[in-house]
Amino acid sequence: MMFKVAVLMALSCAAAEQTTANPIRKVVNMLQAMEKKVSAEGEKEQELFDKFMCYCKNGDDALAKSIGAADAKAPALAADIEAAESQVKQLKQDLKAHQTDRAAAKASMAEATSIRAKEAGVFADLKSESDANIAAVNKATAAIEKGMGGAFLQTSSAQVLKQLVLNSQKMEDYDREELTAFLSQGEGYAPASGQITGILKQMSDTMNKELAEATAEENQAIKGYEALMAAKEKEVNALTKSIEEKMVRLGNLQVEIVEMKEDLSDTQKALGEDKKFLADLGKNCALKTEENAANQKIRSEELLALADTIKILNDDDALELFKKTLPGAASFVQLKVTANNQRQQALAVIKAGAGRGRPELNFIALALQGKKVNFDKVVKMIDTMTVTLGKEQQDDNDKKEYCEMQFDLADDKKKGLERSVSGLEKAIEKEKESISALADEIQALGDGIVALDKSVAQATEQRKEENADYTELMASDAAAKEILGFAKNRLNKFYNPKLYKAPPTAAPVFADVSAHVAPPPPPATAAAFSKKSEESNGVIGMIDLMVGDITKEMTEAKTTEENAQEDYETTMKDSAAKRSDDTQSLADRTKAKAETEASLEANSEEKGATTKTLMATLEHIQALHAECDWLLQYFQVRKEARAGEIESLKTAKSVLSGADFSLLETSAKRSLRGQ
């Protein structure tokens, strides 16, 4: 009620604030808002139209597949929902039965405890009385046996014994008369002490036997009570455990039902739209094209009109004119809500919430107001009403327990789902970063392998060229050494015959080719020849130097070639090892990237499913609030009011039954005053 009044006052205040604003600025703002809204709607409609036209082009196959999948999915979902709702109904019935059984067990325990307390009190009184009587009898017997019967008659035990003798229903009249005579006489009485002692001992034995039987019955009752309480406690614990388990199952089922209903609704809606769209695909596509063109035309005209209007209202001359013609804003907007109207509305709301009572109590009051009152009938109505109120309170207790447990379970589930969603979001972000890093590493490894292959190819080509040069050099040097050796041997043949080495075969390539041609006439003869031995020695020495240089060059070339080949082979081995490692690393990172992408997709799907479950859980919590908030808020008030009604009914029943509460009130007042 106060909330509604506050809302009305807030609206009035807002209206009052709006009246102080510039009315032309307000109109311009409204026109600008309309312009933005029209533009936004146009963009949204164009986006939807583009998607629609794309669907028109290649939607037949997709629609057929979607319809087939929905046709198969919808009945399965409906069956699952029906089965789940049946389980929910059964679980609620089981919960109600368990709660009723538990309440009955607790009531039985309370009743048994009350009965046990009463029985214990009765036994305590009986034992106290029996102990006093037995003590009195034993004292009397001892006094008589010692000849002190007269002194015993003056004690309080004698009075106890006398009352016992007078009130005992099991004693023979003769024995009662003898004991009464004994207890009524003074010091001068000298009875047959043996007879009195025998009667007293018989009484003592009887009372001891009765006390032992009562004690045995009390012990048996205690044992039975403890066994009953243990069994009931076990039953209550088992029912409580069953209630908690079924509460958990019920909460999970209700969340699943919400999810399945949403899924079914979405499936049915999509199925209907798909079927309808498939049936009129061509027609709808053409119609949508025409509608889009018409909408764009109308929207363009509307935007033009709004723009022109805004331009007109924002014109300096127009603003100047408005200042003259609209000096105040109060004439533009008039408030129609007065304080009297507010008070009337608040009063109507208050009256609407009043006057709600219990018709049963009204019927009871009506029955009591009648002239022909049948108290038995009214008492029966009161008893029925008391039972009804008790049942209502038990229903509220069960509902409160259900609501509190469901709220706890749903809240725990919500928090767990929120943590799962947060964890999945972090995992997804981490996986995205990992995928990006792996992609960079894969790119770097791929580029490195390409560069390595290129370097290997270049090194191989270079090695081939170097080997070809080496082969050519070695062949040339070997040929040169052979020629120089042949030349030296030829010189030795002439100048140093002792050093000449005859060739094993005919003359080599350098044979005289003129043998096949007729010789020319001999030239003029020269003077007698003299050998140039000294000069030939110099030439031979030079040939030896040249051979030595060539040999050295060949040795160096061979060493260089061997080193180059060894370096090349080492490089190729290292390159092959590196390429193998890089290839393995590339494969590992590619695999890791694929696994991470798969994990990312799985986590994304799991996040979607978890988010959907979270939304369903939130809807379930909202439904629980709608179902339980009122009861939880007013539970204590309702309980106290119901307890007051029950107490009033009990008081009324007691009054109708003849009880006088005025004495109790007087006694209570006296006790309060200390009188």
Distance between CA 444 and CA 590 in Å, rounded? 12
Please compute the mean of the pLDDT values over residues 537-552 and round it to a whole number: 78
Residue type, 387: V
Band (pLDDT 50/70/90 cuts) for residue 219 is very high
* 85-118 pLDDT, tens digit each: 898 889 889 888 988 999 999 999 999 999 999 9
3-class DSSP state of 97:
helix
Please compute the mean of the pLDDT values over residues 162-171 and round it to a whole number: 68
Q: Quick check: 329 pLDDT over 60?
A: no
Residue 625 lies inside a defined structural domain of this protein: yes
Report pLDDT for 134.
82
> In 203-226, which positions are buried (b, 16+ CB within 10 angstroms) versus exposed (e)?
bbeebeeebeeeeeebeeeeeebe
Band (pLDDT 50/70/90 cuts) for residue 325 is low
Residue 99 burial (C-beta neighbours within 10 Å; 0-12, 13-18, 19+): buried
By percentage, how much of the chain surpasses pLDDT 70?
68
Q: Quick check: 137 pLDDT over 60?
A: yes
Report pLDDT for 44.
85
3-class DSSP state of 12:
helix
Q: Quick check: 182 pLDDT over 80?
A: no
Please compute the mean of the pLDDT values over residues 400-407 and round it to a whole number: 86
Band (pLDDT 50/70/90 cuts) for residue 207 is confident
Report pLDDT for 344.
37
Q: Which of 397, 393, 551, 413 is nearest to 478 (CA)?
A: 551
Domain C-terminal end among 203, 221, 239: 221
Report pLDDT for 460.
92
Which region among 47-61, 326-340, 500-514 has the lowest average model confidence (pLDDT)?
326-340
| The model scores a pTM over 0.85 | no
> Is the Cβ–Cβ distance between 471 and 547 less than 8 Å?
no
Q: Quick check: 526 pLDDT over 50?
A: no
Residue 179 lies inside a defined structural domain of this protein: yes
Which region among 99-103, 264-268, 542-546, 664-668 has the lowest average model confidence (pLDDT)?
664-668
Report pLDDT for 145.
63
Q: Quick check: 159 pLDDT over 90?
A: no
Question: Who has greater pLDDT, 349 or 290?
Answer: 290
DSSP class per residue in 13-76: HHHHHHHTS-HHHHHHHHHHHHHHHHHHHHHHHHHHHHHHHHHHHH-HHHHHHHHHHHHHHHHH
Domains held by the chain: number: 2
CATH of the domain at 597: 1.10.287.950
Report pLDDT for 233.
92
Residue 232 lies inside a defined structural domain of this protein: no
Residue 427 lies inside a defined structural domain of this protein: yes
Residue 300 lies inside a defined structural domain of this protein: no
Which region among 102-106, 345-349, 385-389, 484-488 has the lowest average model confidence (pLDDT)?
345-349
Q: Quick check: 79 pLDDT over 50?
A: yes
Band (pLDDT 50/70/90 cuts) for residue 490 is confident
> Is the Cβ–Cβ distance between 251 and 12 less than 8 Å?
no
Report pLDDT for 435.
92
Q: Quick check: 651 pLDDT over 80?
A: no
Which region among 207-211, 242-246, 376-380 has the lowest average model confidence (pLDDT)?
376-380
Report pLDDT for 330.
41
Report pLDDT for 354.
34
Tell me the CB-side half-sphere exposure of residue 472, using CA atoms within 13 A: 6
Residue whose tokens read 């899924």: 263
Which sign does the torsion angle of CA 286, 288, 291, 292 carry? negative
Residue 233 lies inside a defined structural domain of this protein: no
Domain C-terminal end among 182, 197, 221: 221
| N-to-C CA span, the chain | 50
Which region among 8-22, 270-284, 328-342, 520-534 has the lowest average model confidence (pLDDT)?
328-342
Please compute the mean of the pLDDT values over residues 252-276 and round it to a whole number: 85
Please compute the mean of the pLDDT values over residues 607-616 and round it to a whole number: 88
Instruction: State the Cα torsion 392-393-396-400 to the nearest 10°.
Output: -170
Report pLDDT for 176.
65
Report pLDDT for 539.
64
Domain C-terminal end among 184, 200, 221: 221
Q: Which of 34, 42, 40, 35 is nearest to 293 (CA)?
A: 42
Residue ranges making up the domain that contains 488: 387-500+533-662
Tokens of 518: 């007729």
Instruction: Collect contacts of 447-452 with beta carbons under 8 A, ≥24 apart.
Output: 448/582, 449/579, 449/582, 449/583, 449/586, 452/575, 452/578, 452/579, 452/582
Report pLDDT for 272.
83
Q: Quick check: 237 pLDDT over 90?
A: yes
Report pLDDT for 498.
79
Q: Quick check: 322 pLDDT over 60?
A: no
Q: Residues 6 or more apart from 261 whose CB is under 8 A from it?
A: 81
Report pLDDT for 413.
85
Report pLDDT for 347.
33
Report pLDDT for 147.
58
Band (pLDDT 50/70/90 cuts) for residue 524 is very low
Range among 318-332, 457-471, 492-506, 509-523 rated most confident: 457-471
Please compute the mean of the pLDDT values over residues 607-627 and round it to a whole number: 88
The rounded mean pLDDT for the chain is 75
Distance between CA 431 and CA 605 in Å, rounded? 14
Residue 286 lies inside a defined structural domain of this protein: no
Band (pLDDT 50/70/90 cuts) for residue 220 is very high
Please compute the mean of the pLDDT values over residues 432-458 and round it to a whole number: 90
Residue 438 lies inside a defined structural domain of this protein: yes
